Structure 1
Amino acid sequence: MGKAGRVACIFTPYVLTIASLICIIMVGLGCTKSSSDTLNNLYFMRINVQNISSEGSHTVTEVENILEQYGITSVTAQDVSDVLGKLQDDSTLADFYQIGLWGYCDGDINNNKTNVTECSKPKSEFYFNPFAVWGLDSSDIEGELPSDYKKVMNIYKTVSKWMFIAYIIAFSVTVAEIVVGFFAICSRWGSCVTTLFALLAFLFTTAASITSTVLFSIFKSSLGTTLKAYGISLSLGKNMFAATWLAVAFSLAALIFWTFSVCCCSGRSPYGHRNNGPRGITAEKAPYTYEPLGAGQVPYGQQQHTSYPPPAAHGGDYPMTNTNQRSNAYEPFRHS
């Protein structure tokens, strides 16, 4: 297979790598521009506080039991109602908040249609802090929260930081994979190096996707039921998770085809080094040419014949063999 076949072999993983990079870019662009409807539909989680209520559907005892399950014993149900009441009366509180990789967006809900009005400034290692976003830093309830709750927030901050770093590394390595992929057209060594980058890209893309999926799924499953009683609903962004897992799928497929290009699809000509001769030169035998004969071969016309009884009409003798054989004679004429 020549260079054309080599290019065709590299084309498939190259396209898959570009597709994976596009999906990673879409994940990074989510919740970064309020005027883009496409980017506004890319978020990890949406927090809907349009119907927030300080009363809630739980009794005081149920609220205190729920708080106790999360290790919050110094906060009463009345404290929770007071904080939610402040949020309910706050005119600056948006109807919903969407969490992305670099920041968050907020907006209004009219006739069951969301309208993003503002997005925060992109920030590296971002994590959504409701106390800071909702202006509750000076609230007494934050100071009364036990150390267990603060540990949970620190874990969330640490995991969000790792998730951000994993996406950045996945993006960088995928870009390097595309650049190094040019050299894969020339040789299998180029494919080998590209395969290493493809493996790193797949590992970090998968790690980032798993982290984001597990992180926000836990939040939704553990807090969704409790907050729903107070009119606060949590929902996951299907488009964002579809983009990140498509990036994983494309990255895996690219890794498989890059590995295949290391073992197959050589760029060398199949006619090279034949019969230890110059590459690309093949000797062909033309008709009616002189050729050396091997040992024991007899020239044409002087082959050994089997003697038969002479005809009665002639009575002559025919020789049994030809004794004038030469070990390295040339055939006078070569007939096809």
Structure 2
Amino acid sequence: MRLFSRRKPATPATTPDLTKDQIKRATRTRKVFSLLTSIFLLITTVFLILVEIGGTHKSGAIRNWFFLKLDLSHIVPTSVPNFALINTIAQTIGLHDFYQVGLWGFCEGYKGVGVTYCSKPETLYWFNPVQILKNELLSGAVITLPTDINDILDLIKIASQVMFGLFLTSNVLSFVLAFITPLSVFSRWASFAIAILVFLNALFCTTASIIATVMFVIFRNVIGSVQELNLSAQIGTKMFAFMWVASAFSIFAWLIQTGLCCCCASRRDVRTGRKRGSEKAYGMDGATGGVVGREGVAAEGDRDRVPEKPARRRFRSSKGT
């Protein structure tokens, strides 16, 4: 009778004991993209700061950064006799030539002189042209604004306050996340959690930009459609460029961070053997194709190779011999 020994189960190949330098080199691509995400978030922060400080001071380039510029310098149409004289009189009753709207307040001034005054920064500020013009007029002076402007004041208040909160939240999130995103190089779970925050940041910034664009474009069109008064409004191209550049870079940061959830090996992946990362990180033995471990000994073959089956050993029974 022949007896056969039980075959030992094949042991899975183990990942070579890599050094810290090898792990860092294997995850260098992931590190580059995480740092790129941080740079994009810092750019978002810078441009959101420009949006925040626009129209808060009457000197320097800041005074020319605004969402909307309301022009009252020709409030009386040219078809009215002595319109130039009447416009001059309009200044004497307290009206300024223009009013500029920022995130924290407004600025006012005269043509040929520039901005002469900016309001004190106010949290959750919203531009109320009716209230501002009433406060600007001297005692006893009255000016009637179109009813269309009065009808959208409530909408302007809500939209302005939501826009203010979203811009401020996105600014803080962008700054904090710029220093947190490099942690995604260690684990995919960290990348996933950070990606959620980066997505919320992009959502807040882009939503605020959309609200500002829609609100001030509608405001400009309503003012320009008035026939009784020769009012005009101008969109601030610099301010709009600032907020949309910030939105674009926040979206780029989110796309890259989302990609890190499934692409590029993390340090945890390399340690556990789930992914190898960059092959340049491994010292390859040209003769055997092994990977040099911590002691400098080449591990034969690839880690995924299944070990060869051990040869069967036959034993004969002592009976009958």
TM-score where L is the length of structure 2: 0.69
**1:105 corresponds to which of 98, 104, 107:** 107
Percent identity reads 28
**Is the radius of gyration larger for structure 1 or structure 2?**
1
Q: Which has the higher contact order (CA 8 A, sep 6+)?
A: 2
1:213 aligns with 2:213: yes
Aligned residues: 262
Match of 2:11 in 1: none
TM-aligned CA distance change 1:145 to 1:98, over 3 Å: closer
TM-aligned CA distance change 1:279 to 1:103, over 3 Å: farther
TM-aligned CA distance change 1:166 to 1:251, over 3 Å: same
| Deviation digits for residues 134-158 of structure 1 (CA, Å, limit 9, x no counterpart) | 2259779689998x86552122211
Give the Cα–Cα distance (whole angstroms) in 1 for the partners of residues 185 and 31 of structure 2: 6
1:47 aligns with 2:70: yes
Give the Cα–Cα distance (whole angstroms) in 2 for the partners of residues 50 and 140 of structure 1: 17
Q: For structure 1, which segment, 87-96 or 208-217, has the greater mean C-alpha deviation from structure 2 after superposition?
A: 87-96
Q: Secondary structure at the match of 1:235?
A: strand
Contact persistence 1:176–1:197 (CA under 8 A): no
The letter for the 2-side match of 1:186 is F
Give the Cα–Cα distance (whole angstroms) in 2 for the partners of residues 285 and 30 of structure 1: 62
Match of 1:235 in 2: 234
Displacement after TM superposition at 1:271 (Å): 7.3
Give the Cα–Cα distance (whole angstroms) in 2 for the partners of residues 267 and 144 of structure 1: 62
Contact persistence 1:272–1:281 (CA under 8 A): no
Give the Cα–Cα distance (whole angstroms) in 2 for the partners of residues 157 and 285 of structure 1: 69
Match of 1:284 in 2: 298
> What is the root-mean-square deviation in Å for CA atoms of aligned residues?
3.8
Give the Cα–Cα distance (whole angstroms) in 1 for the partners of residues 201 and 248 of structure 2: 11
Q: Secondary structure at the match of 1:262?
A: coil
Give the Cα–Cα distance (whole angstroms) in 2 for the partners of residues 183 and 107 of structure 1: 49
1:177 aligns with 2:177: yes
| Deviation digits for residues 214-266 of structure 1 (CA, Å, limit 9, x no counterpart) | 00101111221326x63422100011111111111101111111111222222
1:18 aligns with 2:42: yes
Give the Cα–Cα distance (whole angstroms) in 1 for the partners of residues 39 and 239 of structure 2: 21
Q: Secondary structure at the match of 1:226?
A: coil
Q: Secondary structure at the match of 2:260?
A: helix
The letter for the 1-side match of 2:96 is A
> Structure 2: which 5+ residue stretches go unaligned?
1-24, 274-290, 301-308, 314-321
Displacement after TM superposition at 1:174 (Å): 1.8
1:7 aligns with 2:16: no
